[in-house]
Structure 1
């Protein structure tokens, strides 16, 4: 039995279709992360599961029970928001036990639940303090503890780490993943941060314009994006895209023409609906681009000039102008490439480089955005 199931869920506001026929099954104990650009519907979808938004049509099922018309408090869920929403006049223990007190639970039960949550979250020494005496990470743990004390069937997280600094975000990612492993609970997590999605999720749900683009494990989505949108959204730095046209379509693949590079031949391409003259897009991840001295037979190479260098310690990111290649990486739309080197590089701004990639590492997307290249192997974990 699925822990949470969304069946053809639609949400309309006046003049705006926020969620479009959402079908999704989340298994018991899964950690599912929803990602997408601002306005894609991920927070709206989370609020419909919580009962904070009423859906226009469809059905929401939690642990086999239709909760579509139930009140939030009756759905067996607990939600943690971006804002800690702690009562400043209450102690940590009082904040964590607030929901149970409102439910008129016995004091002994409340105290036991608070102690258990405090032990899980390492807050035993903070129970008598008030929120203003805590760090940001501790306050967020209190908010999570308040959810734990209710023993919900499903935890819902709406960008809970957005208010934390970089170091605390990293720490809390580890703590939330450990919490999930310890509790074994179903967790649905909304974020705009793809690092959180890639590191925490069992499965990622990518949303765009109110609809699901793709669902899968982090590495599966990274290696095998279903379309141009998913390919461009997952990955930091993002995938490089080159505009091209189809020259020939044959049994062994397709031949492409792109300004600034030699003729490209890509094998085993899905040729459904593909014809000579079609506009297509070639994609290549920054880590698959490299500086070359002499191109091999399977390598596509072209000159570029370094515009910006980012030294990130164990890696270096280069931003290059490779005109006349036509790319869709920026507003200018011309010749901008990102190259990621897994080492410290002495390259400086203004340097001229020859860069290239193996054709087997490239992706091909049709005019409709659909991925046409065969499935790539997924790295083992």
Structure 2
């Protein structure tokens, strides 16, 4: 039986339809991460589970109980917010034990719960301090510790790492994943950072405009996106998109012409519906799939470009390459760039002319409605 279950959840704010028929089942012990752009409905969904937002219709079940109309304190959940929400006049120990104190639990039980949580989070030496004496990472540990002391059925996290610097975010990602393994608890985590989602989740839920676009294991969603939105959201650097038109469709093979480049690519496709000649399509190429020069594999696309910017990151090099009309198309930002992700290659400089290629095993094809028509591997291109 599902530990958390959302059934046909709708949420309206006046005339704004924030959540549209959300159905989601979370098994006990899962680490679920909800991702999506700002305003997509992920935080609203989390708050409806917590009882901080009422729903317009639908049902919410936690551990076999219908909690749709229950108060937050009666749902068996604990929530960690983006802001630490610590009481400045209380010590760390008092902050962590406050929920149990309000529940009128015996002091010996409160002390034991605080000690256990502090040991897990390695802040036992901070219990007598006040929040202003702590670093950002320590304050976030205290907020998490306050949740642990309540021994909730479900942990809810609303972008808890967004106020931390990059190095500390990386450290806290590891610590939260370790905490999940130690406690074996059900955790539902909201973030706009797809790197957090890819590295922490046992299952990712991708939201967009109040609906769930796709859910699944991180690598499954990365390699097998259901549509162009999911493909574009997951992956850093972002996937390259190029506009195309359908030339012909025969025996499961779509021949498409790339706009602005005169290149034709033949791609095997699955179910395409009523796709017709001249239909507008989009070709997708992950940055790590673009190679410098001609690959030894069958080449689907080969193009010349000029390096606009080089980012040397030590373990990898990112190139932004002006490829003319091809790169202008399919870019929401209006730039003329193809993004290329290499290993620890060096020696590239702005203004350098290079040749890019992509193999026949690395292309995605998306239909006019954004639905994925073909995942790697397509077949040889006509250049």
For normalisation by structure 2, the TM-score amounts to 0.95
Aligned residues of 1:270 and 1:373 also touching (Cα < 8 A): no
Matched residue, 2:93: 93
Q: Distance in 1 between matches of 2:300 and 2:156?
A: 46
Structure 1 residue 267 displacement after superposition? 1.9
Q: Distance in 2 between matches of 1:114 and 1:48?
A: 28
Matched, 1:82 2:82: yes
Residue in structure 2 matching 1:329, options 317, 328, 331: 331
- Would the alpha carbon gap of residues 292 and 205 (structure 1) be closer, same or farther in structure 2, given more than 3 Å must change? same
Matched residue, 2:380: none
Matched residue, 1:379: none
Matched residue, 1:370: 371
Q: Distance in 2 between matches of 1:72 and 1:262?
A: 58
Structure 1 residue 293 displacement after superposition? 4.3
Deviations 1:83-127 (A, max 9, x none): 111111111110000000000001111011101101111111111
Matched, 1:42 2:42: yes
Matched residue, 1:116: 116
Deviations 1:224-269 (A, max 9, x none): 0000000000001100001000001011411011131521001244
Aligned residues of 2:240 and 2:287 also touching (Cα < 8 A): yes
Number of residues paired by the alignment?
A: 375
Matched residue, 1:60: 60
Matched residue, 2:291: 290
Gaps of 5+ in 1: 377-381
Matched residue, 1:201: 201
Aligned residues of 1:32 and 1:202 also touching (Cα < 8 A): yes
Matched residue, 1:304: 305
Deviations 1:192-224 (A, max 9, x none): 111110000000000000110000010000000
- Would the alpha carbon gap of residues 330 and 336 (structure 1) be closer, same or farther in structure 2, given more than 3 Å must change? farther
Aligned residues of 2:305 and 2:356 also touching (Cα < 8 A): yes
Structure 1 residue 375 displacement after superposition? 7.1
Matched residue, 1:338: 339
Matched, 1:189 2:189: yes
Q: Distance in 1 between matches of 2:253 and 2:271?
A: 8
Matched residue, 1:260: 261
Aligned residues of 1:295 and 1:356 also touching (Cα < 8 A): no
Matched residue, 2:316: 315
Gaps of 5+ in 2: 378-383
Matched residue, 2:138: 138
Q: Distance in 1 between matches of 2:134 and 2:244?
A: 55
| Helix, strand or coil at the partner of 1:343 | coil
Of 252-261 and 359-368, the range deviating more from structure 2: 252-261
Matched residue, 2:277: 276
Matched residue, 1:219: 219
For normalisation by structure 1, the TM-score amounts to 0.96
Aligned residues of 2:79 and 2:147 also touching (Cα < 8 A): yes
Aligned residues of 1:40 and 1:210 also touching (Cα < 8 A): yes
Aligned residues of 1:240 and 1:327 also touching (Cα < 8 A): no
| Helix, strand or coil at the partner of 1:372 | strand
Of 64-73 and 264-273, the range deviating more from structure 2: 264-273
Q: Distance in 2 between matches of 1:64 and 1:77?
A: 14
| Helix, strand or coil at the partner of 1:25 | strand
Aligned residues of 2:265 and 2:300 also touching (Cα < 8 A): no
- Would the alpha carbon gap of residues 344 and 105 (structure 1) be closer, same or farther in structure 2, given more than 3 Å must change? same
Within a 5 Å distance, the mapping from 1:99-110 to structure 2 comes to 99-110=99-110
